[in-house]
Homo-oligomer: A and B are copies of this chain.
Amino acid sequence: MRTPANRRPTIVDVASAAGVSKSLVSLALRGDEGVSETTRMRIIDAADALGYRSNAVARALVQGRTALVGAIATDLANPYHSEVIGGIERAAGAHGLEVVIGHGQRDPRRITRWVDRMIELNVDGLIVVSSWAEPSALALAAAAAPVVVVGRMPQQARDVDSIVSDDVGGAAMAVRHLIERGHRRIAFVTSSDRPAAMARQLGYETAVAEADANVPHVVSLADDAARALAALLDGRERPTAVLANNDVTAVRVMDAALDRGIRVPDQLAVVGYDNTVMASLVRPTLTTVDQPNDEIGRLAMAMLAERFEGRRVERHVTISPALVVRGSSG
């Protein structure tokens, strides 16, 4: 792939160009105190002239650390994931670490493979922004480097730290908001049966049960979304409010309502979940549940740092979401 002719210059090339030993090149380039000013200059000039760049692979091998944190995301197109990763990146700088990202592309096998690959790459720590990685792969990874999972794992893996958002509480908060606004017929619409959606449904059911005269009404868009939405909106007992399992689902509900001439929020209040950018762009703007994604990323990085400092016991943190009230709930 690289011909010998244009291979990258090494420390040995710099050494012979500067007329010194390779040890001295290494010391000089890393700014060691005990190198005379004149030779340091000579070495740096030689390195620049050759276009020398340190080989991080060789350095990592001898030092046993790469100064790299791996971040694996289920789906980069999803703003939730990219925001969490942004938080990780901002926090990593303070620890002198760089963040390399592996993209899972919504494929559990690919995500699990990235866990393996990141460990093979010798990252110093690993943050998995996904609940789709195999617990066994995570446990194996945790034996080699600290691992934090952001998301609701179906099954805990040994020595793996975690951060989850309080989906039960967030959904309950949204329902209570609708009840305060006078709504009594409130439906929950979901496009997923993954753990996070299930937890939100549980929060919904709990909060609905608290308020008298409410019958929990759950609509799944899993099989035939158009039919499910029709059943919801064209039925005699149409709800006056809907909580969706996420913003995308909420927008679908709003679109279906508007298509039928049902006014939002007057005839139907809609609340989403995740506070994605879309929530403030649609009309009416969407009331939704916000998770502090940036903060979650920072915390994940901080939890890795604690492990670097010697923490041995597992740590599991739950983050509280907040309601953002906008136009779609009246």
Q: A residues touching B (Cβ–Cβ < 8 Å)?
A: 1-2, 6, 8, 51, 53-58, 60-61, 64-66, 76-77, 79, 82-83, 85-86, 89, 98-103, 105, 116-117, 119-122, 124, 140, 143-145, 251, 255, 258, 277-278, 281-283, 308
A131 to B9, CA, bound (A): 27
Give 3 closest A-B pairs by Cβ, nearest first.
A56-B120, A101-B101, A76-B82
Residue from B6, B86, B103 in contact with A143 in the complex, judged by beta carbons closer than 8 Å:
B6
A50 to chain B, nearest CB (A): 10
Hey, which chain B residues are within 8 Å of A145, CB to CB? Answer: 2
Q: Name the residue in A76, A116, A283 with the highest tally of chain B Cβ atoms < 10 Å from its Cβ.
A: A76
CB pair A53–B124 under 8 Å, yes or no, is: no
CB pair B77–A98 under 8 Å, yes or no, is: no
A66 to B100, CA, bound (A): 15
A278 to B247, CA, bound (A): 12
CB pair B258–A283 under 8 Å, yes or no, is: yes
Hey, which chain B residues are within 8 Å of A58, CB to CB? Answer: 61
Residue from B89, B283, B308 in contact with A105 in the complex, judged by beta carbons closer than 8 Å:
B89
Residue from B1, B54, B105, B258 in contact with A86 in the complex, judged by beta carbons closer than 8 Å:
B105
A6 to B330, CA, bound (A): 57
In the complex with contacts A1-B124, A56-B122, A103-B98 CB distance below 8 A: no
CB pair A53–B119 under 8 Å, yes or no, is: yes
CB pair B82–A77 under 8 Å, yes or no, is: yes
Hey, which chain B residues are within 8 Å of A140, CB to CB? Answer: 51, 53
Extra contacts besides A1-B64, A56-B117 (7): CB < 8 Å: A1-B65, A8-B143, A55-B120, A76-B101, A101-B102, A101-B103, A258-B283
Residue of B nearest to A56 (CB): B120
Q: List 11 A-B contacts (CB under 8 A).
A: A1-B64, A1-B124, A51-B140, A55-B120, A56-B121, A57-B57, A76-B86, A77-B277, A82-B82, A101-B102, A278-B278
A59 to B251, CA, bound (A): 49
Hey, which chain B residues are within 8 Å of A278, CB to CB? Answer: 277-278, 281
CB pair B53–A120 under 8 Å, yes or no, is: yes
Residue of B nearest to A259 (CB): B283
Hey, which chain B residues are within 8 Å of A79, CB to CB? Answer: 77
A124 to B100, CA, bound (A): 16
CB pair A117–B98 under 8 Å, yes or no, is: yes
A86 to B288, CA, bound (A): 29
CB pair A99–B103 under 8 Å, yes or no, is: yes
Residue from B89, B121, B251 in contact with A281 in the complex, judged by beta carbons closer than 8 Å:
B251
CB pair B61–A116 under 8 Å, yes or no, is: no
A120 to chain B, nearest CB (A): 4
CB pair B283–A283 under 8 Å, yes or no, is: yes
In the complex with contacts A101-B101, A122-B56, A143-B282 CB distance below 8 A: no
A143 to B53, CA, bound (A): 11
A103 to B119, CA, bound (A): 20
CB pair A83–B89 under 8 Å, yes or no, is: no
Hey, which chain B residues are within 8 Å of A54, CB to CB? Answer: 120
